């Protein structure tokens, strides 16, 4: 049973890989035309929802594996807090994504929304790298 949960955990990790490439996608989107940028932001919104499902898989499978493994309490606290931070940032980024797409359709200035999106995507990427670091080097804490 543990092998099945580990496989599901790795599939959830693949879904989160989107957050690693998101800052690069957004930096290239600035050079696109307005309709292409609108489509990119719409696609990013869909992929964000997909990554949120990956986070749910991570929470469920990781929680199960933590109960069966030998992990320190500080490590569990740090990892759960990082996962919750990723949930929060992934949810927060969805509103500026939606507002930017609507604003582009209405030919409004969306620079404040795109700035928020870039900042939140960078924070998501950093949080993912840090949580992967603690997964690999769990004996540090």
pLDDT number for residue 39: 87
**Alpha carbon distance 73, 54 (integer Å):** 24
pLDDT number for residue 60: 93
103: pLDDT confidence band, cut at 50, 70 and 90?
A: confident
CB 124 within 8 A of CB 19: yes
Whether 127 shows a pLDDT value over 90: the answer reads yes
For 25-93, the DSSP string reads: HHHHHTTS-HHHHHHHHHHHHHHHHHHHHHHHHHHHHHHHHHHHS---HHHHHHHHHHHHHHHHHHHHT
Q: Confirm whether 58 is domain-assigned.
A: yes
The DSSP letter of residue 133 is: H
| Model confidence, pTM | 0.88
pLDDT number for residue 111: 85
73: pLDDT confidence band, cut at 50, 70 and 90?
A: very high
Q: Confirm whether 66 is domain-assigned.
A: yes
Whether 52 shows a pLDDT value over 90: the answer reads yes
**What is the SS3 assignment for 138?**
coil
Q: Confirm whether 141 is domain-assigned.
A: no
**Once rounded to an integer, what is the mean pLDDT over residues 69-98?**
93
Specify the DSSP element, H or E, that contains 115: helix 111-136
Q: In total, how many domains does the chain have?
A: 1
Tens digits of residue pLDDT in 18-41: 999 999 988 888 888 888 888 888
Q: Confirm whether 19 is domain-assigned.
A: yes
* Structural domain range at position 123: 2-136
């Amino acid at each position: 049973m543990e092998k099945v949960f580990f496989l599901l955990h790795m599939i959830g990790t693949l879904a989160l890989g989107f957050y690693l490439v998101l800052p690069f996608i957004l930096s290239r989107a600035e050079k696109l035309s307005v309709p292409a940028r609108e489509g990119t932001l719409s696609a990013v919104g869909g992929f964000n929802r997909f990554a949120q499902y990956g986070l749910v898989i991570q929470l469920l499978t990781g929680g199960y594996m933590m109960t069966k493994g030998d992990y320190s309490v500080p490590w569990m606290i740090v990892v759960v807090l990082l996962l919750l931070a990723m949930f929060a940032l992934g949810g927060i980024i969805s509103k500026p994504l939606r507002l930017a797409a609507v604003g582009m359709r209405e030919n409004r200035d969306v620079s404040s929304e795109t700035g928020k999106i870039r900042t939140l995507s960078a924070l998501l990427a950093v949080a993912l790298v840090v949580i992967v670091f603690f997964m690999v080097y769990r004996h540090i804490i």
